[in-house]
Amino acid sequence: MKAQLEPIKGLRELSEERTKLVHTFGALAELGHEVSHKQSFQDTVRTSMHLLLGSLAIMRGGVARYSPFAHEFNMVAARGLGEEFPLSLSLCPEDERQFLSCGLYPIEAEHARVLPFFQIYDRSLERSKVALAVPLVLRDELLGAVFLGEKASGEPYTSYDKEIICAMARHIGVAIAQRNMLAELERRANENRKLYEDLRMAYTDTVKAFAAAIDRKDKYTEGHSVRVGKYSELIAAELGWSEDEIEGAAVSGYLHDIGKITVERKLINAPYRINAKESVELSKHPGAGYDILRPIHHPYEGVPLAAKYHHERIDGRGYPDGLYDREIPFIAKIVNLADSFDAMTTDRPYKRRRPAGDVFEDLQRNSGKQFAPEVVQALFRGILKELYGESGGRPFRKLLGREYMESEGLAITLKNALNGSAGVAPITLTSVD
């Protein structure tokens, strides 16, 4: 009889094992999904832990992430371990070595008291009824640990159970490895961003220092380069350029006259209208500026071109090359207008600044001759918007002064100029202050 019963019992065990196996595969599939789809690391670990506890009917457990800097496990998720279970557990080098050598294989707390870790946390582990500690090791790196209480049945863990734990722990290890990799990537990206910002700041500071140095040389036009930079920036913004391009326009304005550092100081500071010979000398500054700026790697490629062509006119009567409209780089057209506008609106040694109405009429008259019409319109639009309070801040008022911006009929002059411009949609602004 006994001999006949043996195969029946074997069959039942086989069937139980098969059910368990199917269940485990299901849990593993879910774990894999969790690891690859969940956005939050905390959620992934928590769900993975519940799946592990559930698939083997384990009462309590927890998952910790290892910090190689602090040499400690930090708990990420726990169930049923009790309030007193430590949130972080430190490791000595010997513990680390042992955990690493165990790989993913579960260590029985009861039999591991020779390790300092199990001696130090003996009471905590016992109080929380932790039976197994599973080091999470992937590619020879200790990533964390899973702590498991006893099974609900009270039966000891079989080697088959431990195999399952091992497989599921690997998935949790992958989740932690992914998280670590992401954290490292974020850290490097932040570091790069910071480096780039530092570099950019150093570049901008250098540009401003140069602008100040150029302006120092010309005592009558103090602040000219800085103002041309600001006007160029405002015009570019009005034209809808991107943030980087606007910054590029500002830099181009700051540096447009850098070639003047090669021109004799007495010529720049001449308190009279310079003669033809002196004029030839001075007219070399765009080319000199280009030669100075060209070898430098600028974040904005138009910077040397703006220096070279800021005295060109779209009717071809400018210098140094007498280029026509479309031959002139757009940035040079912006800086050209900003440059002339500043010359007209500031006092010079041989003449005082011109009245606002006079200046804007002149710009309008020369639109299409010296200046590019779309650039003139952008400047007018920017000033008009500020007069109507439709722009943030009052940069033009700061540059031109209150008196200038409040001169009579300014808004009407600008509005008429804009509405009269051929091929341009009439401005929508209707009210006048």
**Shortest distance, CB of residue 282 to Fe ion, whole angstroms?**
8
Specify the residue, 106 or 289, whose C-beta has the smaller distance to Fe ion.
289
Written as one string, the DSSP assignment of 122-159 is HHHHHHTTEEEEEEEEETTEEEEEEEEE-BTT-PPPPH
Shortest Cβ 339–Fe ion spacing (Å): 4
Dist. CA 426–CA 78, nearest whole Å: 68
Q: Which has the closest alpha carbon to 377: 408, 419, 406, 314?
A: 419
Tell how strand 72-79 and strand 61-67 pair up.
antiparallel
**Binding flags for Fe ion, 98-137, as an x/- string (CB under 5 A):** ----------------------------------------
Q: Peptide bond preceding 320: is omega within 30 degrees of 0, i.e. cis? A: yes
Show contacts of 13-19: CB within 8 Å, 24+ apart: 17/160
Is residue 60 within 8 A of residue 50, CB to CB? The reply is no
Q: Is residue 161 near Fe ion by the rule CB under 5 A?
A: no
Stretch that binds Fe ion, among 62-70, 113-121, 125-133, 338-346 (CB under 5 A): 338-346
Output 257 or 312, the one with its CB closest to Fe ion: 257
Q: Which helix (H) or strand (E) holds 397?
A: helix 395-400
Query: At its nearest, how many Å lie between Fe ion and the CB of residue 311?
Result: 6
CA distance 112 to 122: 10
Whole-angstrom distance, CA of residue 396 vs CA of residue 382:
8
CB 396 within 8 A of CB 389: no
With binding defined as CB under 5 A, does residue 233 bind Fe ion? no
Instruction: Return the DSSP state at 288.
Output: H
Binding to Fe ion (CB under 5 A) within 48-107 occurs at: none
151 or 284, CB closer to Fe ion? Answer: 284
Please work out the total of residues on this chain that contact Fe ion, with binding judged by CB under 5 A.
2
Comparison of 107 and 255: residue with beta carbon closer to Fe ion:
255
Among 254, 339, 370, 377, interactor with Fe ion by CB under 5 A: 339
Cβ proximity to Fe ion, 161 vs 339, nearer residue: 339
Go through the chain and tell me how many residues it has.
433
For the bound state, the minimum distance from the C-beta of residue 414 to Fe ion, rounded and expressed in Å, comes to 24
Considering the rule CB under 5 A, would residue 257 count as an interface residue with Fe ion? yes
In angstroms, give the least distance from the CB of 198 to Fe ion. Answer: 30
Rg (CA), the chain: 38
H or E segment and range at residue 21:
helix 2-37
- State which residue, 233 or 257, has the beta carbon closest to Fe ion: 257
Binding part of the chain for Fe ion, among 44-52, 162-170, 194-202, 254-262 by CB under 5 A, reads 254-262
Which of 88-96, 335-343, 360-368, 371-379 is the region at the interface with Fe ion (rule: CB under 5 A)? Answer: 335-343
| Smallest distance, Fe ion to C-beta of residue 335, A | 8
Return the number of the residue (269 or 419) whose C-beta is nearest Fe ion: 269
For binding to Fe ion (CB under 5 A), which residues are involved? 257, 339
